[in-house]
Amino acid sequence: MADRIFSGVQPTGNLHLGNYLGAIRNWVGMQNQYECIFCVVDLHAITVPQKPDDLRQATREVTAAYIACGVDPKKSIIFPQSSVSAHSDLAWILGCHTPLGWLNRMTQFKEKTGKNRDNASLGLYGYPVLMAADILAYRATHVPVGEDQKQHLELARDIAGAFNRYYENDYFPLPEPLIQGPATRIMSLRDGTKKMSKSDESDYSRINLTDDAEAIDLKFRKAKSDMVEGISYDESARPEASNLINIFSALANVSREAVVNDYGARNFSDFKKALSALAIEQLSPITSLMRELLKDVSYIDAVLKDGAEKAGAIAAKNMKQIHEIVGFVQL
Ligand code: TYM
């Protein structure tokens, strides 16, 4: 089976530097080598309450962000998850092959729900099954994501294996996670032990792809630092310094060692200034292109429609075979 890439981002809130460096930026280079399918996962977004108008807007924003970051709709398929019914169809089928014990191990569900588990929706609980369906509906072989999605991808492999074993075939490839580079887990700027996240209540915890130069500069200036002299890499003793080094290294495309070589003897203030200048240089063309693209909703929607048709055609062919394997009467 030819290599095929699948990945996605939820249209909830602002995209941030973690989404860019951990995922989207890595997709760009893959387009020339592989068949790539990039989804805006709106079915995943509604596992927690969403306002309809906000969801529509966020779906278009994520699409604009993909394009502005360098995902080329002429090379890659870009589409909204809800436009291809195979995702929910296959999620049901795979859900029937997923033991509850496997889902009970998912740390993201536990973290998101805390003590309030009884009020969480069935959708939120089944979220990783839908994610497996996203990938397997296209029989994708590789999935480029950040570190936080690793457990979900392991589950997707387990589910694919369970299906293959039950029906005694090897229909689904076991999808390989691609978790690469120095930025697989970008941490909050306010707390180096917490992941940078869309849902953190403090906007100072993250750099949004919509932030202007002034905001980026202010956020890096206010980023938490420590009392140790100089700049050195030590994830457990100096989580904040290490996070800033990782961000610098990813943005500048140089090794951590090179960053420490250049800035090791400098203080936080100097390092943050250099980092903020670098981030502004890299992000401002993306931000302005995103703004331009969003002025033309009909263009964004045309990209999504074209992508939906292409993704739908691939998935429909696979779903026909899957229905046959499962034993559904074909009419
Ligand atoms: P989402 O929308 O939370 O995040 C999108 C991508 O960004 C990565 N990411 C990060 N990388 C580094 N540092 C961070 N702080 C950081 N925060 C987020 C995520 O790992 C992800 O790659 N369930 C997925 C979306 C999804 C999906 C899929 C992905 C649905 N179906 C199928 C791959 C394949 C999610 O919520 O990502």
Atom of ligand 1 nearest to the CA of 131: 31
The CATH 3.40.50.620 portion of the chain extends over 4-179+296-326
CATH for the stretch 4-179+296-326: 3.40.50.620
**Residue 141: strand pairing partners:** none
Q: What is the pLDDT of residues 54-106, one digit of tens each?
A: 999 999 999 999 999 999 999 999 999 999 999 999 999 999 999 999 999 99
Task: Give the residue carrying structure tokens 């200036």.
Answer: 221
The whole-angstrom separation of Cα 301 and Cα 83 is: 12
The answer to whether 46 and 123 are in contact (CB under 8 A) is: yes
Residue 39 has pLDDT above 90, yes or no: yes
Hey, which residues are catalytic here? 112, 195, 198
Residue 313 has pLDDT above 70, yes or no: yes
Token reading at 227: 């009392």
Burial class (CB in 10 A: 0-12, 13-18, 19+), 7: buried
Q: Return the best residue to mutate from 5, 41, 46 for the ligand 1 pocket (most ligand atoms within 8 A of CB).
A: 41
- CATH class given for the domain over 203-292: mainly alpha
| Residue 1, pLDDT score | 65
**Is the entire prediction scored with pTM above 0.95?**
yes
Largest CA distance in the chain: 72
Closest among 130, 132, 39 to 81, alpha carbons compared: 39
In the reported structure, the alpha carbon of residue 110 is separated from the centroid of ligand 1 by a whole-number distance in angstroms of 17
Q: What is the pLDDT of residues 125-174, one digit of tens each?
A: 999 999 999 999 999 999 999 999 999 999 999 999 999 999 999 999 99
* Pocket of ligand 1 from Cβ distances under 6 Å: 6-10, 18-19, 22-23, 41, 44, 131, 134-135, 143, 145-146, 148-149, 183-186, 195-196
